Amino acid sequence: MALLVVGSVALDTVYTPKGELKEGLGGSASYFSMAASLFAPVHLVGVVGKDFPAEHIERFKVRGIDLDGLYVANGKTFRWHGRYDEDFGDPETLLTELNVFADFSPNLPPRYRSIPYVFLGNIHPALQLQVLEQMESPKLVAADTMNFWIERERDKLLEVLRRIDMLVINELEVRLLTGVRSVLAGARRIQQMGPKNVVVKRGAYGSFALFGEDIFIAPAYPTLDVMDPTGAGDSFAGGMMGYIASCDDLSPETLRMGIIYGTLVASFNVEGFSIHKLEQITREQVDSRLEEFRKMTRF
């Protein structure tokens, strides 16, 4: 089944201990779309400026991503510059220029409004609500958020939480949102806010999820070839949602396997800069890594 993503499309400049990339394709919707397109048809809603390179448009099209919802506005594309230290933890932000993204107002093409699977990327909660107002009875709505919205737009974010089925969030954000240090207790509290499914990203330690009363814990796939962690969380969400949409099934078994596929796709993503690795891999390569992962976690 088809999958809709609404989020940022950006040009990133990134410095890591393994090298640097200038003006590479970035943004939450870019990573999500490239990951999800391994499994299901993806429709992207976002905005770029007149300076957005045509080669990046072609990279989306090669993967079959529908760009009728990608608007080209007068002005410059959103830019982000960041630097990672030796442990590849949270990056230091060197520059953020919202440019045309500052005035982004998602207006969905009519044929997008009946898409059954929806992912609301890390954008202002008011924009997430704007998307929800345009949707026609989706089967699954998942959303991402960040500490900035938790601290600055809490009321709007809580309104979003009351209307979604799944929240994808990291461990620090769980604590900020709930005031609880325990991941389990925090996830339970988030369920009380609305979403019955809560997926907690834990970086190199994998992920923790609650699907109703069902608890699922997955380790990260170990790799020695980390080049650039940018977009790891978005590619995780893309792999997870892409797999779920491809199955058109919301059983606990499918949700669990979605977590695993998201983990594996993210493990490829960090092995290259920007979306370079994501655009090269195939579903067969992901499935091959899945078999390795099964052996690692079998006991």
| CATH number of the domain residue 152 falls in | 3.40.1190.20
pLDDT value for 90: 87
Beta bridge partners of 66: 43
pTM over 0.85: yes
Tell me how many domains the chain contains.
Answer: 1
Q: Determine the angle formed by the axes of helices 183-193 and 171-178, rounding to 10 degrees.
A: 60
pLDDT value for 7: 98
Strands 92-97 and 117-120: unpaired
The ranges of the chain with pLDDT < 70 are none
How far is CA 101 from each of CA 93, 105, 190, 293, rounded to the nearest angstrom? 17, 9, 29, 38
How far is CA 200 from each of CA 6, 53, 89, 128, 184, rounded to the nearest angstrom? 20, 34, 17, 20, 10
pLDDT value for 89: 87
Q: Which contiguous run of DSSP H or E holds residue 210?
A: strand 207-211
Cβ contact 123:7 at 8 Å: yes
Angle at CA of residue 192, ends 180 and 173, nearest 5°: 40
Domain of 218? 3-297
